[in-house]
Amino acid sequence: MDGDHGQQGTRAEAAGPVQALSRSLDLLECIAAAGDGIGSAELAALTGQPPSTAHRLLKNLEQRGYAAFDEDRGRWFIGVQAFTVGGAFLRRRNHAVIARPVMRRLMEESGETVNLAVEDKGEAVILTQVECREMMRALSQPGTRAPLYCSGVGKAMLAALPEEEALAVLEGLPLRRITDRTLTGPDDLARDLAETRRRGYAVDDEEHSVGLRCVAAAIHDEHGRPLCALSISGPAVRIPDGRIAELGALVVRAAGEITRALGGSAPQGRD
């Protein structure tokens, strides 16, 4: 009997700190999601905690700098220490390393080559690539550059910017015709970016390389801005019009997964 009581006491003692930690994290997540602050009573209700428990945990979070209480507004906000901890994650995140497992799966699902690119000085730069198994495939070595306005990854990142900002970027670029399909007119490009925003993915229809088609989606940072972009590319004969929507859905889903893994968030109204 005494042994049983002792074991139960040990389990209870061990469960206490774990439960308190879990409840504290629930509170922090609710505060973060609220954006414009949130009251104590609402926090307790949302997390299913007794008000007294929520208050005690919130005061502890405040003492450690993870939460801050605005006396004038009567609302809780994320504290500086939470920002510091989050910043450590942002400093260590590696786009390519985090994206590679998703890229490999996307290659298997699509049967085509998958690319990850970032923007640099008005160009899209390939960070890494997962090649498909087909004899005929699109190949781009890391470091390969392509203009933003005529590459799938470039247009995906441009379209992820606010419209006025994207148009301002285009105004500063030399819009050279690379193939017969390259869009170089400002109005044509503006319409193409608007269509990209509407459907959620960009299409490079042999605009950068004859015979090559590409479908791409942006990956967003914690502010909802384009961090990099993911694309599926392959010969136009294997990516006919009938496959565009299918591949677009795949690349949008994969880009969303990488966005979340990197601690990012898509702009409101997008997946």
Q: What pLDDT is stored for residue 93 in this prediction? A: 61
Last residue of a domain, one of 89, 118, 146: 89
pLDDT number for residue 142: 76
CATH number for position 181: 3.30.450.40
Answer yes or no: is 271 within a domain: no
Contact by Cβ (8 Å): 265, 259 = yes
- Name the residue range of residue 185's domain: 93-261
DSSP readout, 142-159?
TT-EEEGGGSHHHHHHHH
Domain final residue pick, 52, 68, 89 = 89
Cα atoms in the Cβ-side hemisphere of radius 13 Å centred on 93? 19
- 116 and 201 in a single domain? The answer is yes
- Tokens (6 digits) for 230: 């993911």
Judgement on whether residues 85 and 193 belong to the same structural domain of the protein: no
Any domain includes 142: yes
Are 107 and 132 within 8 A, CB to CB?
yes
Residues 215 and 238 in one domain: yes
| 10-residue averages of pLDDT along the chain (271 residues) | 42 63 92 87 94 94 93 92 70 77 96 93 89 76 87 97 93 92 93 96 95 96 92 95 97 96 77 45
What integer pLDDT is reported at residue 16 of this predicted model? 74
CB atoms closer than 10 angstroms to residue 149: 28
**Residues 73, 154 share a domain:** no
Say how far residue 135 (Cα) sits from the centre of its chain.
32
Rounded CA separation 148/125 (Å): 9
| pLDDT at residue number 13 | 36
CATH of the domain at 22: 1.10.10.10
Residues 120 and 211 in one domain: yes
Written as one letter, the residue type at 187 is D
Q: Is residue 269 part of a domain?
A: no
Give me the residue label for tokens 């700098």.
Answer: 65
Class of residue 123 by CB neighbours under 10 A (exposed 0-12, middle 13-18, buried 19+)? middle
One domain for residues 45 and 83: yes
Q: Is residue 218, in this structure, part of any structural domain at all?
A: yes
Kindly state the greatest CA–CA separation across the chain.
86
* pLDDT recorded at residue 92: 54
**Beta strand 123-130 pairing with 145-147:** antiparallel
143 with 222, same domain: the answer is: yes
Start-to-end C-alpha separation, the chain = 56
Asked if residue 150 lies in contact with residue 204, where contact means CB atoms within 8 angstroms, the answer is: yes
* Residue owning tokens 């994206």: 99
Within-domain flag for 30: yes
In terms of domains, do 198 and 247 share one?
yes
Side-chain half-sphere CA neighbours of 204 within 13 A: 32
Do 109 and 46 belong together in one domain? no
Q: Which run of H or E residues covers position 213?
A: strand 212-220
Are 131 and 252 part of one and the same domain? yes
Q: Tell me, yes or no, if the pTM score tops 0.95.
A: no
* pLDDT given for residue 269 in this prediction: 52
- Which of 89, 108, 131 delimits the end of a domain? 89
Residues 117 and 171 in one domain: yes
- Count of domains forming the chain: 2
In this structure, what are the phi and psi dihedrals at residue 116, rounded to the nearest 5 degrees? -125, 130
What is the structure's pLDDT at 2?
47
Measuring CA to CA, which residue among 83, 90, 89 is closest to residue 68?
83
Please indicate, yes or no, whether residues 84 and 98 belong to a single structural domain of this protein. no
In a domain, 270, yes or no: no
pLDDT of residue 14: 42
pLDDT at 141: 74
CA distance 64 to 231: 43
Residues 197/159, Cβ–Cβ less than 8 Å: yes
Amino acid at 82: A
Q: Is residue 266 part of a domain?
A: no
On whether the CB atoms of residues 1 and 7 are closer than 8 A, the answer is: no
Q: Is residue 268 part of a domain?
A: no
How far is the C-alpha of 233 from the C-alpha of 194, rounded, in Å? Answer: 21
